[in-house]
Amino acid sequence: MNAAVLKVNRFAALMPVTLIALLTTSIPIILAQGDMLREVESIMKDLEYLHSRGVDVGPVVDLLNKAVSEYSNGSFEKAYGYIEEARRRVESLKMEAESTYIKIMVVKAVTVASLASIPLLTYFMLPRLYLYLWFKLHRKWIVG
């Protein structure tokens, strides 16, 4: 009887300790999980910016997708690793985003200018080209 009471008392005495231990170990995990999702959300904003600048974000999208998938399966460490890698790549892509955008804009401007010059070239060059070809084809003709 005394032993049983002692056991119950011990259990009761250990309860707060157990609860505190559980809380201190689980709260950081819960916070880390919340942070992880917030991190994905923050990277998504960067991805949208990079995509709008014409940067290829395919590899980062794959990494984030893997991270979310691992997170859903409960593999938080793996998920965190993928997120870290995605964050690193996003930071390096951000540095070249503006130069990529300028390159795309320059190529676009040159293409548009070339296309716009087609009617002008047709107006000025077509008669000359026709005349040149005509003379080339009829150079052996003799005017009687």
Partner 1 sequence: MDCWVIGLIIDEEVFAVMLAISVVASTVGIAVVLRPETVEPFTAIGLLNEDCRIGDYPTAASNNSFLNLCIFVLNHMGKPVYYRVIYKIGDRETIPTNTTPSLREPVLTWMGVLGDKQNTTKPIEIPVYTLEPLPSTVALIFELWLYDTELAQWIYTGRWVHLYMNITPLLP
Does 138 sit near partner 1 (CB under 8 A)?
no
CB of 24 to partner 1, least distance (A): 28
Which backbone phi and psi does 97 adopt, to 5 degrees? -60, -45
Q: Which stretch binds partner 1 (CB under 8 A): 4-12, 19-27, 87-95, 117-125?
A: 117-125
b/e per residue 71-90 (b: at least 16 CB within 10 A): beeeeeeebbebbebbbebb
Task: Quote the CA–CA distance of 7 and 39 in Å, as a whole number.
Answer: 47
b/e per residue 35-53 (b: at least 16 CB within 10 A): ebeebbeebeebbeebeeb
Tokens of 55: 């940067």
CB of 19 to partner 1, least distance (A): 29
DSSP state for residue 54 in the 8-state scheme: T
Does 95 sit near partner 1 (CB under 8 A)?
no
Nearer to partner 1, 11 or 124 (CB): 124
Nearer to partner 1, 11 or 130 (CB): 130
Of 16-55, which residues contact partner 1 (CB under 8 A)? 40-41, 44-45, 47-48, 51-52
* Binding stretches for partner 1 (CB under 8 A): 40-41, 44-45, 47-48, 51-52, 57-58, 61, 64-65, 68-69, 71-72, 108, 111-112, 115-116, 118-119, 121-124, 126-128, 130-131, 134
